[in-house]
Amino acid sequence: MARINNQIRRLRFDHGEMTQEELAQRAGCTRQTIIALEQGKYVPSIELAFKIAGAFGVSLEEVFQYEA
Amino acid sequence: MAPLQKRALYSLLIGLVLVAALIVVFVIKGDVTAFSDDGNLRYLTYGVLIGVPLIYLILVNLTLRKPTQIDERDRRIMDKAPRLQLVAIYISLAVWVIALTELYRETGQIPRIFVTLILFSTLIISSLAQSLGILIGYWRANRNG
């Protein structure tokens, strides 16, 4: 089964241990959505994925990886 | 707990308490025909009818106006809630039809008051099922993703 992995938790750590709340504010979503993303229980829309990547200042592929 | 989830829970609990209170009053009165004769019972029923959707409107719908409290995941969950609402309405109507048919089969007619009660119960169940649908949506999202 195809799966979309993400590096959000690691990227938060790399960015001075950015809090989930801070990332949520930057990406324009709720903290609960960040929690669900980190647990692999939610696949974001393209728009939110770009916003999260933008919050870290990295490309989309550095945050999300498609695993066939 | 997400803000929308919290408010849906409060809305459901308050709604259930109001409905339970109404059922208790009807049971104490002993007969639904008391609705026509007892003014207080009528006002209480009207209060619940207006109160349940109003509580839902205040608690849940006002959350939707605050962009910081709701995002795409919440909206996806909310969009699925009407499925349960529809099922709940179908079931409640089926229960009414079966119960009334069986209870009044001998007489061949039902008291007119049931028409009003069916409408009221459908509206109340619709509001409660919307909140329940949101809560089930969060539960499923947290369990399965």
Average pLDDT over residues A32-38: 93
**What does the pLDDT read at residue B39?**
84
> CA quadruple B137, B141, B142, B144: dihedral positive or negative?
positive
Nearest to A42 among B1, B68, B141 (CB): B141
Query: With an 8 Å Cβ cutoff, is A30 touching chain B?
Result: yes
Q: Domain containing B60: what range?
A: 3-144
Q: Domain containing A23: what range?
A: 3-67
Split into its structural domains, chain B has a count of: 1
Query: With an 8 Å Cβ cutoff, is B9 touching chain A?
Result: no
SS3 B70: coil
Alpha-carbon distance of A28 to A36, in angstroms, equals 15
Average pLDDT over residues A38-57: 94
**What does the pLDDT read at residue B112?**
84
Please check the confidence at residue A18 and state whether its pLDDT lies above 60: yes
Inter-residue contact B56 to B9 (CB < 8 Å): no
B contacts of A32 (beta carbons < 8 Å): 1-2, 5, 73
Query: With an 8 Å Cβ cutoff, is A50 touching chain B?
Result: no
Please check the confidence at residue B31 and state whether its pLDDT lies above 80: no
pLDDT tens digits for range B35-93: 777 888 888 888 888 888 888 888 877 777 776 778 899 999 999 999 999 999 999 99
Residues A33, B71: C-beta atoms closer than 8 Å = yes
Please check the confidence at residue A44 and state whether its pLDDT lies above 90: yes
pLDDT tens digits for range B93-139: 999 999 999 999 999 898 888 888 899 889 889 989 999 999 999 99
Average pLDDT over residues A43-54: 94
CATH number at residue A21: 1.10.260.40
Read off the pLDDT band of B22 (50, 70, 90): confident
Alpha-carbon distance of B142 to A60, in angstroms, equals 25
Residues A45, B72: C-beta atoms closer than 8 Å = yes
Split into its structural domains, chain A has a count of: 1
Query: With an 8 Å Cβ cutoff, is B116 touching chain A?
Result: no
Alpha-carbon distance of A42 to B144, in angstroms, equals 9
Of residues B77, B96, B68, the one with CA closest to residue B144: B77
Please check the confidence at residue A37 and state whether its pLDDT lies above 80: yes
Sequence-ordered alpha helix ranges (H) in chain B = 3-29, 34-37, 39-56, 62-64, 72-103, 113-144
**What does the pLDDT read at residue A62?**
94
